[in-house]
Structure 1
Amino acid sequence: MMYPLASNSPSTTESRPSTSLLPPAELEALNARFSANADQWLADNAPISKIKAERKPKGNRGRKPKMILNPFYGFIGPQTYWAPYPEFAMDIIEGVARLDWYGEREQQLPLSVAKINYILGALPVITNEAVEDLLQLGERQARRYVKAVELCIEWMKKSRPQFLISEMDGIDFEPKACEWEDCNDACHPSPEELAKLHYDLRTLTEFKTAEEYEADYPPQPDTAAIVTFPNRYTPQQRQQHPKKPEVLELLAQGRGVNSIERETGVSAKTIRRWRDEVRAAQVGLKAA
């Protein structure tokens, strides 16, 4: 028995309304009305972005703007040994940030430690205008950070470690390889010296062959069957540092520890340990 499709039934075709698209003129009018409503809603509810007013150029009269030379520029910051924060100065920076910077207010808000550290690592000369542009702050707030950085620099100079003082003063106490030009020609050995050298370097096979020595001292079969199990108390061999060959090559070229540290990223303590190991090995070879 064949059943008619539901889409072809008379009831369905009669109840379905006829659809028709709007003409282009009505669509354009509807689009314009929606656009106007959206623009009005954004104008009433969108947040207002604060635009910093342009700074007026100051004249030659009056007090000169304060300029602070930053002695720590290039020595602390994200690309230095002290990244991201200098350990020797964190107590100073945090203490200065918690001072009373806003006068007699009920709620005292400290300055940002991250912003103070950012100024110390980013600006070689610290001025109020430079801090305003760097941190996008107002004039009064930028003046607070300039004063805070000035206090930090004064106390950070007194708490610097000795190697940082030497690095900032341009002094490198690391010993460097002596450089000289040896123009002397090598002396040719005499026949007697060559004969003595050949005698000292003679091998045991001069008296017997290798087969005769193996026959006199055959390998022990019991020792070959011994199976050694790993001992958890036995120290495991550590993998070599990937930067060690590069560091040793730079040390051989006479480079200083501080410059190698900045170039490779390996700590100065590790570089000095590798350098001492190489020197100890060279002394042992000379003594042998």
Structure 2
Amino acid sequence: MTLGYLLGAAISDPDPRHGAELYEAFPVVRRTYDEVQAWTGIPAERILTGDFAADNDHERFAFAGIRLATLAFGIHDLLADREVHPGAVGGISLGGLISSCLAGALGRRDLFELLVQEGRTPARDTTPQGAAIAFIPADEDHTQYYADPDVHLGGDFGLLVDGSRRLLMLSGTRAALDRVAAQAAPGVVSVIENQSLAVHSPLRQYASDFMAPHVAALPLSDPKLPLCSFLEQKTLTTADEVRDLFVRNKTHTMSLVHVVNELRAQGTRLAFVLGPSLPEGAIRFPFPVVHIKTPEQLTQAMTAMYEYGVGMPSTV
């Protein structure tokens, strides 16, 4: 049976010092932060606290990604230090790009340099954009919520734990999202405040175009571990397939459903979520999941590994 690593998107984290307990408790995690500091020029303390005065939304978004990726790699290294290694990896959005590194398809420094470059994306047009979270009744046709040409399905997280609703992310112009929220039943659609980017939608084509030459130059190689895509349910096996993931990341729907189903197909019977990138206890998974953000959760993860008899393949 396989241990899978699962990574989410660069979502808001209510803890401004996410990863601080692990950083303070384990030298191996501190070494990871020191490496990222050397690559990006951002002090480790600022990565931990989120103390970064961004000049624009693209800088803010890129810094959030740097924070998420640093903690994810630190947790990976902490587990590897205990001879724990995944048999398959996957994630959505930035989590999928981090997973590409964990699978051996891209060096970490290359990913962080890419994130720094993303912070330099020029401003788009001034039409207000954003994203919304939608809790759609499971027996309802969810396509009606993005039938408006200015609204797009940005993300599909699957069913909630009780199976009653499907969790979606909608992206589009702010005016269109406000209309959808107003027309829906109370509490079904909530526009995310302070989110001004229509992530994972065609409205991000300008950012994808800006990053295209940098993505084309990435020194990618074939993954050494099963790498589960979030764009369709498949395992990526070649450098060209991984590059396509990077190319389409900003403009196409991210699907957690694709990732977990493919992890399941790869034999995953237990998964660790590295960092605060997916909501705890909210989403239904086809296998047990342990979130790791604190030393206590690390202990829970180690216990679960033995409880479920999950094997530990050799590292990349």
Identify the TM-score tier after normalising by the shorter chain.
under 0.3
Structure 1 or 2: more helix by fraction: 1
Normalised to the residue count of structure 2, the TM-score between the two structures is 0.18
Q: Select the structure that is richer in strand.
A: 2
TM-score, normalised relative to structure 1: 0.19
Rg comparison, structure with higher value: 1
Q: Give the structure, 1 or 2, with the largest relative contact order (CA under 8 Å, sep 6 or more).
A: 2
